[in-house]
Every structure is written in structure tokens, then in C-alpha cells.
């Protein structure tokens, strides 16, 4: 009887797409929601590379969680990092911003903690090859890109200039392909006629990938189209190569024939691979859940951990039916988890239907007039692909200000090539 009178406690770990859509599904439900995140903002991660490339500002791709959820009166936002879970006692342990440890009880737990950058066992590469998963990462990458051109301008040694004007990216998924295209556009269009001692258009952009295809998840047709688009703007694609060493002067790769090759590059960026955060291991230890090779939590068709129907894992951290780590998967799994908790609390009978992912497509923007899009049976590239890409991203940007601001910024970029978000400090 008390269960029907007292308000249930729902804890959601992570304020990304999965966590946000779970919160929205619980809007006005008779529950008290605690949203735990180490950041105060919701980030539109698919556009991080545009922030790094100086197109969009951080405010256009990130919104304060308290603003996004201001009408959700049953939600409490907690700035903290989830560190452990007591599945038997139904308590999440979190380290708050002041360093204290808090114990947050729950009746239902939704884990939407996301994934972090993986260097495939070579974490030492991170010092010289930053990834791009957070806003802070994007600022680091932006500084490295634009500082390279400044260093080339200042150098009087032709060999040193060439090293500064060489950019190497590891990983030919959407982020790697999109960022490689943007660096070439910066070099050939944005910085045109801005330097007196160096020609930015001479910049080399090298893209390395272990597999034999760029954008392999898009299918062979769009993969070939993307490869042609990259070649058309001057990106040098090296497929079937595994990175074996990264240092301050460049990287070494191993080809499929076993040979190795050294590439001198002052700027190396890492866009390959993800792995689960430490919290996933703690969750698996407490619940007995299985993890896949990347540390993702294996879940049942209703997204619960077997033996723990009160715990649901959603988004990138979830391992189910080989679903990809994409924003659409996160949105749909988060909404599904929130809805079914609501149904359970409202006393709706019957077993929950298994989660079914509705594939709404994939899109990658390479450079002006060059994009590839897969939406169901529709495969598009070139200008049409760019227009579809624009519609998709405008539709999912959070907040009216973000949509309007992004549209205006993209319009200026298309017309003039100007990028206003290029400020950095030489000492930072």
C-alpha cells in the first residue's frame, strides 16, 4: 500500500542524450528524480568537432542542465561523479563537487554514464594525441589546430614549418572524417591570405584507420563517396594502418604487410575507439553483470541488468544487439527506460515490450557542399547530403537559441568561410 502512496526515487547517472530523454519521459510522473553528472551542461556531442574547428561556440552546443530541466519540478540536479553502487542496498555513491561522498538511495536506477576515449591499452598516447569527447577536449583541439598555423608562421626552418603544417588524425569514423575535412577547409578557405610568411593551403591532413574503409558503418556506397570527398579536398587517407607509437614529433604506423612507417606531424589528434568509464566496472562488480570487450554492460531486451529489474543501462554504455554508440540510440533507450519506469509506477499490467531501435539514419559533414547521409533506404551525398545533415542537426539541437545561433553561424560560414570562434591564448 505504501508503495502506491510514497513517491519513488529514481536516480539517473549522466546528463547526455540518454539521461536527458529519460528525465523527459518521467516529466510529471509521481517520482523524485536525482540526475547525477560531473558537468553542469547537456552537450550536443555530435557537433563537438565544429566547436573544435572554430565554427560553433560552446554555448551553441551545450546548454545548462538546470535551464533545460527548469520546468521539471520533480528533478534535482547533482554536480557529482558516480563512483560506486550498492545494488543490494539500492544506493549510489557519488563524489560531490566539494570532494565529499554522498549516498543517494534509489528505487529505480538508470545508468546513462556514456563512454570515454580509448587508446587501446596505450594511454601514454593521450599526452601527445588528445581525444575529443568533452567541451574541454574541444578547446584543447581548437588550440592545437590554430596554434600550429601560428607556429608555422613564426618558424624560419622549412622542415620545421612542414611539421607544423602536418596534421595527423587517428580514426576514420564520423568524428575523424568530419574533423579532417574541417582542418583542410580551415587551411584552404578560412585562413586564406591571413599569413605573410606561410601558405596555409600547403597544410597536409593525414587520416589513419585500422580498417579498410572510412565511415565503415555507413555501408560501402557512402564509404566510397566519403573517401572520394576527402580525396577531393586533399585529405590523405591511409587505411589498414595501426598506430604503434605517438610522440611530440609525430606517429609511427604499422601497415598490413607488417612494415612500419614514420610520419612527422606536430599535431596528432585521436578520434578512434571508446571504452567504458570506471563506474561500469563498479556496477558490474555489484550486480554480477557481464561486460563486453569495451566494458559496456550487457543488458536484457528490456534494458535491465539480469537479476536487477530496478537497474536499467542505456545509451553508449549499454551492450545489446550490437547497437552502435550513436545519439539516436541514446535518445531512444533513455526514453524507453523512463517510460517503462513510469508505466510500472502507474500500475500498468503486462510484461514490458522489448526495446526496438528505430534506425533514423547516420550523417557526416565533411566540408562545404560535401556530406554523406544514410536515412533508411535513402543514401545521399554532396549538396543534398549537406542539406539533410543540416535539417537533422537543427532538429535535435537543444534550445531555440542554439538552433537560431547555429543556423546563422553556418550561413556565414557557407557564404564567407569565416569562423569567429578561433580565440586561444598562446600560454594556455
DSSP string covering 84-98? EEETTTTEEEEEETT
pLDDT for the residue 178: 93
Given CA atoms 71, 75, 78, 83 in this order, what sign does their dihedral have?
A: negative
Kindly list the distances between the CA atom of residue 153 and the CA atoms of 53, 136, 318, in Å, as whole numbers in the listed order: 19, 26, 47
Kind and range of the H or E run holding 392: helix 382-396
Higher pLDDT, 60 or 253: 253
Cβ atoms 144, 127 nearer than 8 A: no
Cβ atoms 54, 146 nearer than 8 A: yes
Range 343-348 average pLDDT: 86
Q: Please enumerate in sequence order all residues whose Cβ is within 8 A of that of 356, keeping only pairs 6 or more positions apart, or say none.
A: none
**pLDDT higher than 70, residue 192:** yes
Whole-angstrom distance, CA of residue 207 vs CA of residue 271: 10
Give the pairing type, strands 250-255 and 241-247: antiparallel
Residue 322 DSSP label: T
pLDDT for the residue 374: 79
Lowest mean pLDDT among 59-68, 113-122, 241-250, 364-373: 364-373
Crossing angle of the two packed helices 17-25 and 327-345, in degrees rounded to 10 = 30
- How confident is residue 372, by pLDDT bands cut at 50, 70 and 90? confident
Given CA atoms 344, 348, 354, 355 in this order, what sign does their dihedral have?
A: negative
- CB neighbourhood size of 335 (10 A): 20
Whole-angstrom distance, CA of residue 75 vs CA of residue 55: 33
Range 246-258 average pLDDT: 95
Higher pLDDT, 36 or 414: 36
Range 146-157 average pLDDT: 96
Whole-angstrom distance, CA of residue 249 vs CA of residue 21: 43
Return the C-alpha cell found at 353: 515490450
- The beta-strand segments (E) located in 38-121 are 41-43, 62-64, 75-86, 91-96, 101-105, 108-111, 116-117
Higher pLDDT, 150 or 366: 150
Catalogue the active-site residues. Answer: 178
Kindly list the distances between the CA atom of residue 129 and the CA atoms of 116, 123, 286, 333, 428, in Å, as whole numbers in the listed order: 15, 10, 34, 32, 17
Q: With H, G, I as helix, E, B as strand and everything else as coil, classify residue 341.
A: helix
Q: Is the pTM of the predicted complex or chain greater than 0.95?
A: no
Kind and range of the H or E run holding 371: strand 370-375
pLDDT for the residue 157: 96
Return the C-alpha cell found at 233: 579536398
Whole-angstrom distance, CA of residue 305 vs CA of residue 386: 40
pLDDT for the residue 1: 40
- How confident is residue 411, by pLDDT bands cut at 50, 70 and 90? confident
**pLDDT higher than 50, residue 256:** yes
- CB neighbourhood size of 350 (10 A): 6
Q: Please enumerate in sequence order all residues whose Cβ is within 8 A of that of 161, keeping only pairs 6 or more positions apart, or say none.
A: 152, 155, 198
Cβ atoms 184, 417 nearer than 8 A: no
Kind and range of the H or E run holding 149: helix 135-154
Whole-angstrom distance, CA of residue 253 vs CA of residue 238: 10
> Quick one: the chain helix, strand, coil %, rounded to 5?
40, 25, 35
Number of H helices, E strands in the chain: 13, 24
What value, to the nearest 5°, has the Cα angle with vertex 329 and ends 324 and 330?
115
The alpha carbon torsion through 338, 344, 348, 352 (nearest 10 deg) reads 70
Amino acid at each position: 500500500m505504501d508503495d502506491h502512496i510514497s513517491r519513488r526515487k529514481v536516480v539517473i547517472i549522466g546528463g547526455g542524450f540518454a539521461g536527458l530523454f529519460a528525465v523527459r519521459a518521467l516529466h510529471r510522473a509521481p517520482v523524485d528524480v536525482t540526475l547525477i553528472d560531473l558537468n553542469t551542461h547537456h552537450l550536443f556531442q555530435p557537433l563537438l568537432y565544429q566547436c573544435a574547428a572554430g565554427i560553433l561556440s560552446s554555448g551553441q552546443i551545450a546548454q545548462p542542465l538546470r535551464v533545460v530541466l527548469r520546468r521539471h519540478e520533480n528533478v534535482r540536479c547533482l554536480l557529482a561523479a558516480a563512483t560506486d553502487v550498492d545494488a543490494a542496498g539500492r544506493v549510489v555513491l557519488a563524489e560531490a563537487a566539494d570532494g565529499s561522498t554522498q549516498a543517494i538511495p534509489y528505487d529505480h536506477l538508470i545508468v546513462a554514464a556514456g563512454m570515454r576515449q580509448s587508446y587501446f591499452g596505450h594511454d601514454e598516447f593521450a599526452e601527445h594525441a588528445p581525444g575529443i569527447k568533452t567541451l574541454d577536449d574541444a578547446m584543447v583541439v581548437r588550440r592545437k589546430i590554430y596554434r600550429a598555423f601560428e607556429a608555422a608562421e613564426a618558424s624560419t626552418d622549412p622542415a620545421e614549418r612542414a611539421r607544423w603544417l602536418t596534421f595527423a588524425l587517428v580514426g576514420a569514423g564520423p568524428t575523424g572524417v568530419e574533423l579532417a575535412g574541417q582542418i583542410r577547409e580551415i587551411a584552404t578557405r578560412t585562413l586564406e591570405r591571413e599569413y605573410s610568411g606561410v601558405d596555409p593551403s600547403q597544410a597536409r591532413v593525414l587520416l589513419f584507420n585500422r580498417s579498410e574503409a572510412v565511415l565503415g558503418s555507413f555501408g560501402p556506397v557512402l564509404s566510397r563517396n566519403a573517401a572520394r570527398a576527402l580525396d577531393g579536398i586533399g585529405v590523405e587517407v591511409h587505411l589498414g594502418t595501426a598506430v604503434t607509437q605517438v610522440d611530440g614529433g609525430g606517429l609511427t604506423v604499422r601497415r598490413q604487410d607488417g612494415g612500419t612507417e614514420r610520419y612527422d606531424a606536430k599535431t596528432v589528434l585521436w578520434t578512434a575507439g571508446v571504452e567504458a568509464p570506471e563506474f561500469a566496472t563498479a556496477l558490474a562488480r555489484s550486480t554480477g553483470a557481464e561486460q563486453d570487450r569495451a566494458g559496456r554492460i550487457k543488458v536484457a531486451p528490456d534494458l535491465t541488468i539480469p537479476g536487477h529489474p530496478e537497474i536499467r543501462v542505456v545509451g553508449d554504455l549499454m551492450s545489446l544487439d550490437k547497437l552502435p554508440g550513436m545519439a539516436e540510440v541514446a535518445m531512444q533507450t533513455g526514453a524507453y527506460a523512463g517510460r517503462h519506469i513510469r508505466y510500472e509506477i502507474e500500475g500498468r499490467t503486462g510484461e514490458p515490450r522489448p526495446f526496438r531501435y528505430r534506425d533514423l539514419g547516420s550523417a557526416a559533414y565533411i566540408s562545404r557542399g560535401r556530406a554523406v547521409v544514410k536515412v533508411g533506404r535513402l543514401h545521399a551525398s554532396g549538396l543534398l547530403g549537406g542539406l539533410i545533415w543540416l535539417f537533422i542537426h537543427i532538429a535535435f539541437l537543444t534550445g531555440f537559441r542554439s538552433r537560431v545561433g547555429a543556423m546563422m553561424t553556418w550561413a556565414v560560414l557557407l557564404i564567407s568561410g569565416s569562423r569567429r570562434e578561433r580565440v586561444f591564448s598562446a600560454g594556455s
